[in-house]
Structure 1
């Protein structure tokens, strides 16, 4: 597997397909393997690059609390692994990283796709967010990191219809998530440049020169939708796509609809993709 050597870390990445460049940035508690179910489909008409963020998967590094480092790493991937302006998709905390990188280096981006990003999530935290943070940290302090990670993921994947996608997932997916528990718990530590991208201004996002698509799952938390709406009010040209039946794990729950959203398909007059069937 190719890699990029950076100060203190070696980022592992993979590139498949040909066509316009597309870079996928994973969220917390996952690594590049989270894209395995969609990468081949996307690679039929894109040159797709995926990578393990610093501290995740095979990109070994101590846990990163300062997300400016992750943003700089993404810029390095775009410069060294891609070599031309690319469409960049960031899911969950990866969406915040993509937003931060785009505000710093817009010349590296041709388009931006943001999927369920908790942008300014602390600034607009609701009761569930605060309760999750407290419970997670208490479990961590008591020496129960696995339970703490599960608290986070049950919160992140909560479904409006009840339950959560984490508990509905198979053992393989849950094991993959728990394998990346350590950096997740670090990301929930207080930090001025932390996971929720509080240091990036709304104005900086509104002024980005590239087209922006923002993808949401209809089953996800209203908190996530509200964070998007605050940006969309200031930048009404954002193409908002809501995938019916999807939760926070959109690319896993609804891979076909996720791929269609990345490609800008189908033509949507109501900005809503078809309800996913899980295939």
Structure 2
């Protein structure tokens, strides 16, 4: 994989295919390999760029609590690797990074595709969020880092029909998540510029001069869908796509439907 040195870290990235640029930004507790099931299909008609965020995969770095750093990294990828306005997909916390970067540098984006992003999730935390955070920290204090991270994995992938996608996933998916568990514990530490992008005003998203598509899994937690509803009350021209049968791991659980949703094009409306 080629590399990009930026802000004291070396980011590993990969390019596949030709055509309009499509950048994929992964969430927490995984790396760029999370896109393997959809990469070739998307590359049939796009120049697809994926990268390991700092602290994940091959982009070795100490855990990052300040997510403005991840946003600056994405800005560097768009400026120095892409070099043109791009359609950018952000899944989970990667979606928050995309939103934060677009709020700061909208000219770098042609279109946003936000997938299951917990935007302003802390200020609208429900009992499930608080309980998961408490269990995570208790396990961490007791010296059980993997168990602590697994609390997050199960919470984030909760299914409305019961259970969670993490426990139902195959060994390869769970192994990838476990390998990238260390940064998750740091991200759950309180920070004014933390993982849920509380520092980005909703007005900045409402006023973005860029089309937005928002992808949700129909089986995802009510907390996640509730965060989305609060945003579309203020910005009704967001193109929302709900993928039936999918939870938080939309691109893994329903890859064909996910690719179709990414290929759909949102348009700015008044």
TM-score by shorter chain over 0.5: yes
Partner SS state of residue 186, structure 2: helix
Q: Tell me what 2:260 maps to.
A: 260
Q: Tell me what 1:37 maps to.
A: 37
Q: Tell me what 1:124 maps to.
A: 124
Q: Tell me what 1:247 maps to.
A: 247
Aligned pairs (5 A) from 1:147-158: 147-158=147-158
Aligned pairs (5 A) from 1:188-203: 188-203=188-203
Q: Tell me what 1:133 maps to.
A: 133
Distance 1:206 1:197 in 2: 15
Q: Tell me what 2:52 maps to.
A: 52
Q: Tell me what 2:216 maps to.
A: 216
Distance 2:199 2:149 in 1: 25
Instruction: Kindly indicate whether residue 67 of structure 2 is the aligned counterpart of residue 75 of structure 1.
Output: no
Runs of 4+ in 1 over 6 A off after TM superposition: none
Distance 1:181 1:45 in 2: 33
Question: TM-score, structure 1 length as denominator?
Answer: 0.94
CA offset at residue 30 of structure 1? 0.4
Distance 2:239 2:41 in 1: 22
Task: Give the CA RMSD over aligned residues.
Answer: 0.7
Distance 2:181 2:245 in 1: 27
CA offset at residue 43 of structure 1? 0.4
Distance 1:7 1:218 in 2: 38
Partner SS state of residue 121, structure 1: coil
Distance 1:113 1:233 in 2: 18
Partner SS state of residue 37, structure 1: helix
Q: Tell me what 2:231 maps to.
A: 231
Q: Tell me what 1:108 maps to.
A: 108
Distance 2:216 2:136 in 1: 25
Q: Tell me what 1:169 maps to.
A: 169
CA offset at residue 170 of structure 1? 1.3
What per-residue deviation string (whole Å, max 9, x for no partner) do you get for residues 118-141 of structure 1?
000000000000000011011011
Instruction: Kindly indicate whether residue 99 of structure 2 is the aligned counterpart of residue 99 of structure 1.
Output: yes
Gaps of 5+ in 1: 266-279
Q: Tell me what 2:268 maps to.
A: none
CA offset at residue 249 of structure 1? 0.1
Distance 1:24 1:42 in 2: 10
CA offset at residue 172 of structure 1? 1.5
Distance 1:142 1:54 in 2: 27
Distance 1:45 1:119 in 2: 30
What per-residue deviation string (whole Å, max 9, x for no partner) do you get for residues 155-188 of structure 1?
0001111111000011121111010111011000
What per-residue deviation string (whole Å, max 9, x for no partner) do you get for residues 16-43 of structure 1?
1011000000000000000000010000
Q: Tell me what 2:18 maps to.
A: 18
CA offset at residue 7 of structure 1? 2.3
Distance 2:239 2:181 in 1: 33
Distance 2:263 2:10 in 1: 30
What per-residue deviation string (whole Å, max 9, x for no partner) do you get for residues 44-76 of structure 1?
011000000010000010000000000000000
Partner SS state of residue 38, structure 1: helix
Partner SS state of residue 219, structure 2: coil
